[in-house]
Structure 1
Amino acid sequence: MHRLNAWLRGHPLVVDGVWASIVLFLALVSDYPDGTFQRIAYFTVSGIIAVLMVVRRRWPDLTVAVGMALGLVQVVLRVDPDASSLGYLVFVYTGAAFGARWSSRLALVGSLVAGPLSMLVFHDSNDAGHGFLQRSFVALLLSSPFILCWAWGRLTRVRRAYLVELEDRAERLERERDAQAKVAVAAERARIARELHDVVAHNVSVMIVQADGAAYVMDNSPQQAKEALGTIAATGRQALVEMRRLLGVLRTADAAEEYVPQPSVEELPELLEQVRTAGLPVEFTTSGEARELPRGVELTVYRIVQEALTNVRKHGGPNASARVAVDFGDRDLNVLIEDDGRGSTDEQLARGGVDGQGHGLIGMRERIGMVSGSLDAGPRPGGGFRIRAVLPLKTAK
């Protein structure tokens, strides 16, 4: 049914043609007037009305003008109204709904004079059985359908203008939303780049310290110097990986900021304790063999858990609780954060957008994509929200 309505709205000429065919059929099966001239006028008027009904939406102003002129000719020639005269109601509606201002006013004037002209021409004015007030009342009744059609057309015009305004507003909001999403992505990438900058700086600092230590013990303890050189090589490879990620994320130069220690997976219990102190019950479990992770992965895990729990506090409701599970696999690190909050549409929209600090799922996806991972986020069955992140542990050489 929805497809049929959409097709009919997209093919107005077909719809108008069907209605014109019905009106013309009713005119043909009606009683014909007596006299050759009257019959010719009768069929001519019916045919012109049917044609105008078909083309009324393509040329509304022309349709109203020709329709009003045709109505006056019919009155002058005293061609009795028939089933095809229903087309005049359609013309009045067309002028009010689709026509220019002048054609709408012309349709209104025609609606007002239709009843009095019909009483004057097609009814016996010498009929003593009807007084002036009665004839005026009948004339008003005859004009009422035309006036109602004109009012319906004006209502249609206003409604159509309102819908056009809503569509324009929706398009503007969509453009603004896309622009805000781009701004959020850029801000989050800049933030991630600064954090990775700190990670790389830390690795370089370790390399410098190890190099100084190796130079100091080179003569007295060659074995320690060899171990220091191995540490420098491993740290350098890790710094190279982080630097590649940094160059892939960073789009514009950022102002230098003071270096700060970056959190890791080992600090998750402290984070969860802070969340519990704030009033959100959180269950934390780990599985698999815990081991040292690349600094970029450590930071990504910590930030994802931090942002997810922040969203639970904001949108999960007063009685929500959460669960955090970290699974150390052979090649992947699986992180699961889920809650049993209200899980409403507003909550989902909020978690899918960004908060005042520019975070949200946009930031999570940026962080996950930076370490070549995947993110799955959505409502839980039975209520609440679930975020599952998979981060590969195999780094590039």
Structure 2
Amino acid sequence: MGKPWHVRASQFMSAHMWVVDSLFLAAPLVLITILLQAYEPGLRGVLQIVFLVAMSASLVIRRSLPLVTGWIVVATGFLYALTFAFPHPALVTVPITVHAVTAYAPRRWGKIFLGIGIVAAFIFAASNFMYFYVSGARLSDVTAGELLFLVLAALVFPMVTVALAWTLGDIHWRKRDDAQRIAERNALLERERANEIRLASDAERMRIAREMHDIIAHSMSVIITQADGGRYAAKTSPQAAVTSLETIAETGREALGNLRGMLGVLREHGTGTQTTPMPGVNDLGTLVDNVRAAGLEVTVRTAPDLPALAPAAQLAVYRIVQEALTNTMKHGGPDARAVVTVEPGEQGVVARIVSTGRAESSSAPGAGAGIQGMKERAHIHGGSLSAEATDTGFLVELTLPEDGS
């Protein structure tokens, strides 16, 4: 069902204000000018009508081209005054034009046309007195009350009308300026909000990428190590091969569970999906057991009186230890060993991973990306991480402030 006719008409008028000005300002004033003709006969009267019609018709563009309307009114009004004609009702275009220029033109033009309007009021008064004089009347025959009325009607009222038109136009300009400022501020806030959303999305993608890197890299390293060991052990010790397969299966299930827990939080809330909590410092024992099952000898020492860490900071400790042990399995060689120590530090928690053993070549594809990722994790939580080679292996030391702040 379409909109009612009066609603469509209102919307059309709002979008085409020149139609409103044509119907309710320009057309009535032109009609008044034609019906209420000037008092001068001959060519002078024709010129007066032409000037008044042009002055009135210019109001059609008073909103879209206010300065054009203003200068047309100034020019035609000046020419009309030169004919020494009696003031005409169509001269109401003067205050209307002052209002239009003040409301829709640049601000400085409003004051300029206010001055022009005041001058026009004086000319209006002079025209009245001139007509009064030409008509043969004498001031001695005019009473004080009549003279006062003439002054008020011919001078004070036009000046007050022009000033009022300028005031209303200035108020309108201020409202338009405030609305424009609000619109610009809202647009700026919207752009800032979009940028914040984009940055948050980028940060979330990087976090997910780091998580997936840690989970998949560690799990695949364990699986590959166990698969290689199980393949050789199957010839001489079937039970060892079974153990390797069990470790592969357990590692795969754990990796799958971690991935589900990580990706589950991205789903919409209220779907009823249960997600497993992210691992923390207390889960280092399970991590070390899996690494031992993969063939790397690891010792873990966790102090019982660790400062409190936020869950995200505990996850960072877990992932950094996991990444360091994964690198040891990949690059440490067959005789590699590792010692993990988590204890209180001067400003929070200190985690050290000391590995021994070194492979003949550690230039595996992507070497260095894991260390950079560990440093980024530490930096996110306000901590620091150092990773450097030692005479016997490699040292990774993580420091995180208390409460993950």
Q: What is the TM-score when the length of structure 2 is the normalising length?
A: 0.53
Matched, 1:296 2:223: no
Matched, 1:109 2:115: yes
Secondary structure of the corresponding residue to residue 86 of structure 2: coil
Matched, 1:67 2:73: yes
2:188 maps to which of 158, 172, 180: 172
Within 2, Cα distance between the matches of 1:160 and 1:227? 79
- Taking structure 1 as reference, are residues 179 and 26 closer, same or farther at Cα in structure 2, changes over 3 Å only? same
Partner of 2:86: 80
Q: What is the TM-score when the length of structure 1 is the normalising length?
A: 0.54
Within 2, Cα distance between the matches of 1:97 and 1:219? 95
Note if contact 2:223-2:251 (Cα within 8 Å) is conserved in structure 1. yes
Note if contact 2:62-2:69 (Cα within 8 Å) is conserved in structure 1. yes
Matched, 1:20 2:36: no
Q: Deviations over 1:27-62 (max 9, x none)?
A: 333365352345313421232113321233454334
Q: Deviations over 1:163-214 (max 9, x none)?
A: 2222222222222222111110111111111111222134224314533652
Note if contact 2:102-2:169 (Cα within 8 Å) is conserved in structure 1. yes
Note if contact 2:62-2:97 (Cα within 8 Å) is conserved in structure 1. yes
- Bigger relative CO (Cα 8 Å, ≥ 6 apart): 1
Partner of 1:11: 16
Secondary structure of the corresponding residue to residue 22 of structure 1: helix
Within 2, Cα distance between the matches of 1:224 and 1:76? 118
Within 2, Cα distance between the matches of 1:37 and 1:130? 37
Q: Residue type of the partner of 2:172?
A: T
Q: Residue type of the partner of 1:179?
A: N
Give 1:136 shift. Answer: 4.3
Secondary structure of the corresponding residue to residue 325 of structure 1: coil
Within 2, Cα distance between the matches of 1:109 and 1:21? 27
Q: Percent identity?
A: 25
Secondary structure of the corresponding residue to residue 104 of structure 1: helix
What is the RMSD computed on CA atoms of the aligned residues?
3.9
Within 2, Cα distance between the matches of 1:37 and 1:102? 38
Partner of 1:163: 179
- Taking structure 1 as reference, are residues 187 and 4 closer, same or farther at Cα in structure 2, changes over 3 Å only? farther
Secondary structure of the corresponding residue to residue 235 of structure 2: coil
1:130 maps to which of 116, 133, 144: 144
Within 2, Cα distance between the matches of 1:120 and 1:168? 48
Partner of 1:325: 272
Within 1, Cα distance between the matches of 2:31 and 2:247? 95
Partner of 2:39: 33
Note if contact 1:210-1:232 (Cα within 8 Å) is conserved in structure 2. yes
Within a 5 Å distance, the mapping from 1:234-313 to structure 2 comes to 294-301=257-264, 303=265
Within a 5 Å distance, the mapping from 1:377-392 to structure 2 comes to none
Give 1:232 shift. Answer: 4.5
Within 1, Cα distance between the matches of 2:12 and 2:203? 44
Question: Number of residues paired by the alignment?
Answer: 261
Gaps in structure 1 of 5+ consecutive residues = 239-260, 263-292, 309-322, 329-356, 358-397
Comparing 196-205 with 220-229, greater Cα deviation is found at 220-229
Q: Residue type of the partner of 2:162?
A: F
Matched, 1:201 2:206: no
Q: Residue type of the partner of 2:181?
A: E
Within 2, Cα distance between the matches of 1:327 and 1:101? 63
If you compute each CA radius of gyration, which structure gives the higher value, 1 or 2?
2
Gaps in structure 2 of 5+ consecutive residues = 1-5, 134-138, 276-311, 313-405
Q: Deviations over 1:90-141 (max 9, x none)?
A: 2111222233566433321233244443333224362522366655444212
Note if contact 2:40-2:85 (Cα within 8 Å) is conserved in structure 1. no
Give 1:67 shift. Answer: 1.3
Note if contact 1:112-1:143 (Cα within 8 Å) is conserved in structure 2. yes
Within 2, Cα distance between the matches of 1:171 and 1:324? 34
Matched, 1:94 2:112: no
- Taking structure 1 as reference, are residues 158 and 101 closer, same or farther at Cα in structure 2, changes over 3 Å only? closer
Note if contact 1:214-1:225 (Cα within 8 Å) is conserved in structure 2. yes
- Taking structure 1 as reference, are residues 5 and 77 closer, same or farther at Cα in structure 2, changes over 3 Å only? same
Secondary structure of the corresponding residue to residue 184 of structure 1: helix
Q: Deviations over 1:316-346 (max 9, x none)?
A: xxxxxxx883489xxxxxxxxxxxxxxxxxx
Matched, 1:189 2:194: no
Within 2, Cα distance between the matches of 1:4 and 1:207? 74
Q: Residue type of the partner of 1:325?
A: G
Secondary structure of the corresponding residue to residue 272 of structure 2: strand
